[in-house]
């Protein structure tokens, strides 16, 4: 429990008291994110400078108050949820710094900058910030760094961690450290940058990031490939990726999602097919034209029914529309959507599809698959209603089985959403006792008082399991 | 459990946060409780009794009701319904302020009162009293918000009676038969725009009738949570317009049009009215849709740099986005320059800029920053509220000499030589 004295101390830590929120409507409004569960914080602070963060952390350290950094609360894993009370730090308003240095091809940003704004700023210099989570126009870079977010372009360009050169971090004792720097090559000491990225705010608080930018491809080409059998689609993905071509995006839609889209807004997709793959290639326009033809041949060879190549940008947009409509289309039946991001090695894509189908039947649930097929980050989505307690129980079991299957196939719990609260019960399954223990030892060494985003990443007890409904 | 709030509808929200960048109050106030996602959650919590209506009042009352969040929402949350349910419950529990209530319940739907208003405003502007009030600083007795509005009052003209009598027949062939909806505030403050709308429709080949017994659309009452009055007005309008057959019921007021197209929702559970409301709603169209479809002939060049600030309710509720842009871009010799973040509300929002003046001006200032960046000569609007707000913005920035604010109908009429 926060005492008046602590609140007073926190108030002194920030320049303007209007950025300290404690009315009930505010606390309720920072109790959730894009995932499941709601936990009331005791206080919300909106820091706007490193100095403020330092002062806040020092107070928290003195009184052992838990701190939960939060961007714009789009997390799908529960990263910013204040599960043990304490203070939510809302970084969304600290978005003032966005500097592009085109000679060094880097961007230096404050944590509240929107991810899409970084790419937009880079574009002016012919550069690109590749990570493109579908929430990039809403989510902050701070949140992306903490959760190590990915996106469709991950297939070719990797995820957030692949573009971070350096960080400014406030430690749990309130000291400011700089990790990495402004150079691509930097092997001085331990790579703390990579340790912090994806640590979900459990080791320290990121107050500034130096990001690497890449030359912006001149053009893109889009195509839609239609399959009668989803297993062929899986094979086509592997074949394309071993044919010497690396597309920037390869997104799959299974039959359930195609039918849902057509029922929602008829855009002329064939509904008697098993799967559609949308492929985007980027690079020099001449190379793209040539590669499109090669991809077409490869797909037809493994049994694709039809390949449509977009003639221009408008046609490309039309093809992508199908993918964009999946979300609104699938939630029409039932409102709750559980988007999982268990990821498997590419070669196991056909097998994963088969197993997902079995899980769907076994638990009698609505499960659709649409996601980043090329990198094995399939995104099975379960459509349900969180008020239906009986069905939610089956959903919990199905989600658990999806995780188990991914790990059995040599994959991972999370490709891009992070562990947060939702996947903690499965950590040991993937990492093993010793693996998880090493991670815990690092956490204890960094944050002995456990004030940095407690309740995340690590299971809090042996019997913890996935819970999606209030019991 | 509060059963009157739209509790079920709140479950359609998956809390993805995609509405945040679309929300003007989240943008200017920077707090989750002033975002659509925040407000939806607060209504859910209030339904469950976990927070009181009083505690969510500030968040809910500061919502503009622009409904840009509905356009941004990937899961089709019916935010409008959720907001109205709150307004209704609040109205039942506390009633709305007396002055407000008087204006809403009686004033806007009363023809005589509106005529008097038009008349008095004209008298005020033309008799020298306006000048006197300004010179003697007598105007200072008004609070800041009302004073600000007095300063941007348009030149009030008398509605042209000849245009509102009987049916106007176009010179050439009749392409469609339309009934014209005048709106109440529109005919007081912007009678000239209604006059021009009627002329334009005729010019484009419409047979135009101004139905006599039409009344206020009920939008402002609806926003206040007064469903009873709204329903009563809706029925009056439906009755008035179904007396004869018209292809369309046309209006040039983004906000009123949005109310008209939702009459079907308003009356969906009334077996005597649901079908009739549906017909009425389907026939109700913004003038831009009709003019774009009829392919109006322009006769004059308008060599100006034009930008467009859409009415939120035209965009987000009537879903009309393309037609006004098409028309503007077809004006001979005009240069269209898009306004960045044009889909963000200007902060007018019915009576919001009067009752929440400070918040409204913060939203307007953001909008004007973009105007200054783009330097247009003309700002085109499609709703009287937005029109006045943009006039206010231009005045606040000291741009009266270089930037003109017009309703889309005015610039189209100019290009048609009307």
Q: Choose the closest CB to A74 out of B17, B38, B74.
A: B17
- Best probe of the B interface among A28, A35, A81, A381, by most B CBs < 10 A, is A28
CA distance A336 to chain B (A): 7
CA distance A63 to chain B (A): 26
CA distance A201 to A180: 18
Instruction: Tell whether A366 is covered by a domain.
Output: yes
Q: Does B118 contact chain A (CB < 8 Å)?
A: no
- Best probe of the B interface among A22, A25, A265, A333, by most B CBs < 10 A, is A25
Residues B359 and B408 in one domain: yes
Q: Does A297 contact chain B (CB < 8 Å)?
A: no
Domain end, chosen from A304, A328, A352, is at: A328
- Total Cβ atoms within 10 A of residue B119: 13
Q: Choose the closest CB to B41 out of A32, A135, A387.
A: A32
Residues B285 and B304 in one domain: no
Instruction: Tell whether A27 is covered by a domain.
Output: yes
Instruction: Tell whether B85 is covered by a domain.
Output: yes
Q: Choose the closest CB to A34 out of B12, B17, B38.
A: B17
Question: Which residues of chain B does A93 touch, with a Cβ-Cβ cutoff of 8 Å?
Answer: 30
Residues B190 and B239 in one domain: yes
Instruction: Indicate yes or no: CB of A28 within 8 angstroms of CB of B12.
Output: no
Domain end, chosen from A157, A181, A215, is at: A215
Show the tokens assigned to B173.
Answer: 């062939």
- Best probe of the A interface among B7, B17, B72, by most A CBs < 10 A, is B17
Q: Choose the closest CB to B31 out of A26, A327, A332.
A: A26
Does the predicted interface ipTM exceed a cut of 0.90? yes
Instruction: Indicate yes or no: CB of B75 within 8 angstroms of CB of A337.
Output: yes
Answer for the pair A329, A263: CB distance below 8 angstroms, yes or no: yes
Q: Choose the closest CB to B20 out of A46, A138, A386.
A: A138
Nearest CA in chain B to A93: B30
Instruction: Indicate yes or no: CB of B30 within 8 angstroms of CB of A93.
Output: yes
Q: By residue range, what is the domain housing residue A374?
A: 333-408
Q: Choose the closest CB to B75 out of A28, A33, A331.
A: A331
What share of residues in chain B are helix, strand, coil (percent, to 5)? 55, 10, 35
Residue closest to B81 by CA, chosen among B93, B58, B97, B65: B65
Q: Which CATH number do you get for residue B51?
A: 1.10.1060.10
Residues B346 and B303 in one domain: yes
Answer for the pair A269, A258: CB distance below 8 angstroms, yes or no: yes
Residues B176 and B135 in one domain: no
Answer for the pair B133, B376: CB distance below 8 angstroms, yes or no: no
CA distance A128 to A427: 34
Q: Which CATH number do you get for residue B216?
A: 3.40.50
Instruction: Indicate yes or no: CB of A137 within 8 angstroms of CB of B41.
Output: no
Residues B383 and B396 in one domain: yes
Chain-centre distance for alpha carbon A398: 21
CA distances from residue A294 to A91, A188, A250 in whole angstroms, order as listed: 46, 43, 15
Q: Which CATH number do you get for residue A179?
A: 3.30.465.10
Instruction: Tell whether B2 is covered by a domain.
Output: no
Question: Which residues of chain A does B75 touch, with a Cβ-Cβ cutoff of 8 Å?
Answer: 327-328, 331, 335, 337
Residues A232 and A296 in one domain: yes
Instruction: Indicate yes or no: CB of B11 within 8 angstroms of CB of A387.
Output: yes
Instruction: Tell whether B156 is covered by a domain.
Output: no
CA distance A19 to chain B (A): 9
Classify strands B248-251 and A205-212 as parallel, antiparallel or unpaired: unpaired
CA distances from residue A171 to A407, A443, B297 in whole angstroms, order as listed: 33, 12, 69
Answer for the pair B262, B281: CB distance below 8 angstroms, yes or no: yes
CA distance B25 to chain A (A): 14
Instruction: Tell whether A283 is covered by a domain.
Output: yes
Tell if the pTM clears 0.90, that is, is over it. Answer: yes
Residues A253 and A311 in one domain: yes
Instruction: Indicate yes or no: CB of A25 within 8 angstroms of CB of B42.
Output: yes
Q: Which CATH number do you get for residue A349?
A: 3.30.70.2740
What pLDDT sits at residue B98?
54
Residues B245 and B324 in one domain: no
Instruction: Tell whether A422 is covered by a domain.
Output: no
Instruction: Tell whether B405 is covered by a domain.
Output: yes
Residues A208 and A227 in one domain: no
Classify strands A219-227 and A304-309 as parallel, antiparallel or unpaired: antiparallel
Instruction: Tell whether A169 is covered by a domain.
Output: yes
What pLDDT sits at residue A349?
86
Q: A48-72: string of b/e by CB count within 10 Å (b at 16+)?
A: bebebbbbbbbbbbebebbbbbbbb
Q: Choose the closest CB to B38 out of A29, A74, A332.
A: A29
Q: Give me the helix-helix angle, B408-415 and B191-203, nearest 10°.
A: 50
Question: Which residues of chain A does B21 touch, with a Cβ-Cβ cutoff of 8 Å?
Answer: 114, 137-138
What pLDDT sits at residue A465?
80
Instruction: Indicate yes or no: CB of A29 within 8 angstroms of CB of B41.
Output: yes
Q: Choose the closest CB to A137 out of B21, B33, B58.
A: B21
Number of structural domains in chain B: 4
CA distance B414 to chain A (A): 34
Across the A/B interface, how many CB contacts are shorter than 8 Å?
A: 82
Residues B165 and B284 in one domain: yes
CA distance B301 to B329: 12
Instruction: Indicate yes or no: CB of B45 within 8 angstroms of CB of A28.
Output: yes
CA distance A375 to chain B (A): 24
Instruction: Indicate yes or no: CB of A29 within 8 angstroms of CB of B15.
Output: no
Instruction: Indicate yes or no: CB of A331 within 8 angstroms of CB of B15.
Output: no
Question: Which residues of chain B does A385 touch, with a Cβ-Cβ cutoff of 8 Å?
Answer: 11
Q: A267-280: string of b/e by CB count within 10 Å (b at 16+)?
A: eebeeebbbbbbbb
Query: Which residues 315-334 of A have a C-beta within 8 angstroms of B?
Result: 327-328, 331-332
Query: Which residues 31-60 of B have a C-beta within 8 angstroms of A?
Result: 31-33, 35, 37-38, 41-42, 45, 50-51, 55-56, 58-59
Domain end, chosen from B48, B63, B94, is at: B94
Residues A403 and A366 in one domain: yes
Question: Which residues of chain A does B58 touch, with a Cβ-Cβ cutoff of 8 Å?
Answer: 25
Residues B222 and B198 in one domain: yes
Instruction: Tell whether A256 is covered by a domain.
Output: yes
What pLDDT sits at residue B294?
93
Residue closest to B185 by CA, chosen among B242, B111, B129, B258: B111
CA distances from residue A117 to A97, A100, B341 in whole angstroms, order as listed: 11, 11, 14
Residues B273 and B169 in one domain: yes
Over chain A (471 residues), what is each successive 10-residue block's mean pLDDT? 96 97 98 94 98 98 98 96 97 98 97 97 97 94 97 95 98 98 94 97 98 97 94 90 94 91 89 94 95 96 94 90 86 86 89 92 93 89 91 94 96 94 94 96 97 96 77 54
CA distance A423 to B57: 37
Question: Which residues of chain A does B8 touch, with a Cβ-Cβ cutoff of 8 Å?
Answer: none
pLDDT tens for chain B, residues 1 to 418: 677 899 999 999 999 999 999 999 999 999 999 999 999 999 999 999 999 999 999 999 999 999 999 999 988 999 999 999 999 999 888 776 655 666 666 667 777 777 777 777 777 777 777 777 766 666 677 777 778 878 888 888 889 988 988 899 988 889 999 999 999 888 888 999 999 999 999 999 999 999 989 999 999 999 888 989 999 999 999 999 999 999 999 999 999 999 999 999 999 999 999 999 999 999 999 999 999 999 899 999 999 999 999 999 999 999 999 999 999 999 999 999 999 999 999 999 988 988 899 999 999 999 999 999 999 999 999 999 999 999 999 999 999 999 999 999 999 999 999 9
Q: By residue range, what is the domain housing residue B51?
A: 7-94
DSSP summary character for residue A452? B
Q: Does A28 contact chain B (CB < 8 Å)?
A: yes
Number of structural domains in chain A: 4
Domain end, chosen from B273, B291, B309, is at: B291
Instruction: Tell whether B1 is covered by a domain.
Output: no
Instruction: Indicate yes or no: CB of A74 within 8 angstroms of CB of B41.
Output: no
Instruction: Tell whether B176 is covered by a domain.
Output: yes
Nearest CA in chain A to B71: A328
Q: Does A138 contact chain B (CB < 8 Å)?
A: yes
Which backbone phi and psi does B40 adopt, to 5 degrees?
A: -60, -45
Domain end, chosen from A215, A241, A276, is at: A215
Residues B167 and B110 in one domain: no
Nearest CA in chain B to A44: B31
Q: Does A335 contact chain B (CB < 8 Å)?
A: yes
Residue closest to A462 by CA, chosen among A428, A434, A439: A428
């Amino acid at each position: 429990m926060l005492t008046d004295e602590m609140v007073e101390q926190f108030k002194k830590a920030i320049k303007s008291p209007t950025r300290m929120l404690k009315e009930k409507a505010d606390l309720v409004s920072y109790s959730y994110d894009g995932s499941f569960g709601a936990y009331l914080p005791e206080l919300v602070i909106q820091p706007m400078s490193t100095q403020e963060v330092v002062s806040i952390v020092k107070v928290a350290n003195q009184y052992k108050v838990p701190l939960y950094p939060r961007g714009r609360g789009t997390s799908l894993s529960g990263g910013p949820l204040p599960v043990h009370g304490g203070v939510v730090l809302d970084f969304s308003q600290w978005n003032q710094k966005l500097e592009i240095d085109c000679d060094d091809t880097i961007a230096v940003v404050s944590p509240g900058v929107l991810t899409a704004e970084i790419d937009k700023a880079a574009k002016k210099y012919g550069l690109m910030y590749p990570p493109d989570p579908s929430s990039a126009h809403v989510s902050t870079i701070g949140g992306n760094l903490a959760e190590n977010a990915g996106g469709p372009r991950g297939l070719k360009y990797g995820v957030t961690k692949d573009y971070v050169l350096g960080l400014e971090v406030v430690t749990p004792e309130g000291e400011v450290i700089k990790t990495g720097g402004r150079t691509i090559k930097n092997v001085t000491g331990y790579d703390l940058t990579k340790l912090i990225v994806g640590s979900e705010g459990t080791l320290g608080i990121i107050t500034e990031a130096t990001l690497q930018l890449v030359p912006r491809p001149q053009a893109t080409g889009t195509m839609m490939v239609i399959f009668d059998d989803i297993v062929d689609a899986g094979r086509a993905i592997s074949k394309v990726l071993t044919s010497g071509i690396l597309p920037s995006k390869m997104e799959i839609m299974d039959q359930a999602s195609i039918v849902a889209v057509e029922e929602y807004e008829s855009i002329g997709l064939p509904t008697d097919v098993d799967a559609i793959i949308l492929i985007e290639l980027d690079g020099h326009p001449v190379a793209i034209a040539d590669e499109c033809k090669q991809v077409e041949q490869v797909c037809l060879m493994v049994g694709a029914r039809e390949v449509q190549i977009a003639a221009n940008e408008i046609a490309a947009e039309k093809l992508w529309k199908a993918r964009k409509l999946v979300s609104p289309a699938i939630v029409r039946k039932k409102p709750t959507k559980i988007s999982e991001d268990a990821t498997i090695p590419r070669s196991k894509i056909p097998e994963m599809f088969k197993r997902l189908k079995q899980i769907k039947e076994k638990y009698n649930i609505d499960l659709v698959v649409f996601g980043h097929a090329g990198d094995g980050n399939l995104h099975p989505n379960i459509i349900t209603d969180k008020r239906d307690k009986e069905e939610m129980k089956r959903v919990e079991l199905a989600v658990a089985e999806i995780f188990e299957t991914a790990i059995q196939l040599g994959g991972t719990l999370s490709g891009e959403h992070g562990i947060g609260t939702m996947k903690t019960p499965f950590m040991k399954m993937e990492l093993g006792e010793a693996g998880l223990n090493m991670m815990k030892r690092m956490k204890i060494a960094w944050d002995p008082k456990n004030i940095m985003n407690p309740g995340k990443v690590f299971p809090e007890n042996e019997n913890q399991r996935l819970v999606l409904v209030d019991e | 459990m509060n059963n009157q709030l739209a509790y079920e509808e709140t479950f359609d929200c998956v809390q993805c946060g995609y509405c945040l960048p679309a929300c003007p109050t989240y943008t200017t106030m920077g707090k989750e409780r002033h975002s659509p996602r925040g407000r939806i959650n607060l209504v859910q919590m209030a339904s469950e009794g976990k927070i009181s209506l009083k505690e969510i009042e500030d968040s809910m009352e500061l919502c503009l009701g622009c409904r840009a969040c509905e356009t941004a929402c990937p899961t089709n949350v019916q935010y409008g319904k959720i907001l109205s349910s709150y307004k209704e419950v609040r109205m039942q529990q506390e009633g709305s302020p007396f002055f407000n209530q008087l204006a809403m319940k009686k004033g806007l739907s009363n023809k005589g009162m509106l005529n008097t208003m038009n008349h008095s405003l004209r008298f005020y502007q033309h008799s020298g009293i306006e000048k006197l009030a300004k010179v003697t600083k007598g105007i200072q007795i008004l609070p800041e918000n009302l004073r600000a509005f007095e300063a941007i009052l348009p030149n009030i003209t008398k509605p042209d009676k000849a245009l509102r009598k009987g049916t106007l027949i176009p010179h050439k062939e009749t392409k469609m038969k339309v009934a014209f909806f005048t709106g109440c505030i529109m005919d007081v403050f912007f009678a000239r725009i209604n006059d021009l709308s009627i002329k334009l429709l005729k010019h484009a080949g419409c047979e135009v009738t101004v139905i006599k017994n039409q009344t206020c659309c009920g939008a402002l009452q609806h926003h206040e949570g007064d469903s009873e009055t709204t329903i009563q007005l809706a029925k009056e309008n439906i009755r008035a317009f179904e007396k004869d057959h018209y292809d369309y019921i046309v209006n040039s007021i983004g906000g009123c049009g949005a109310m008209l197209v939702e009459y079907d929702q308003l009356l969906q559970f009334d077996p005597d009215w649901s079908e009739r409301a549906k017909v009425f709603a389907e026939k109700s169209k913004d003038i831009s849709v009709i003019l774009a479809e009829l392919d109006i002939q322009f006769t004059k060049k308008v060599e100006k740099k034009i930008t467009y600030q859409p009415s939120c309710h035209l965009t987000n509720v009537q879903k009309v986005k393309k037609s006004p842009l098409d028309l503007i871009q077809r004006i001979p010799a005009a240069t269209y320059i898009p306004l960045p973040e044009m889909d963000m509300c200007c902060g007018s929002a019915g009576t919001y800029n009067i009752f929440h003046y400070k918040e409204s001006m913060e939203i307007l200032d953001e909008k004007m920053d973009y105007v200054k960046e783009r330097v247009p000569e003309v700002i085109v609007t499609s709703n009287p509220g937005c029109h006045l707000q943009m006039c206010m913005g231009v005045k606040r920035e000291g741009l009266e000499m270089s930037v003109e604010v017009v309703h889309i109908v005015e610039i189209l009429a100019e290009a048609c030589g009307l």
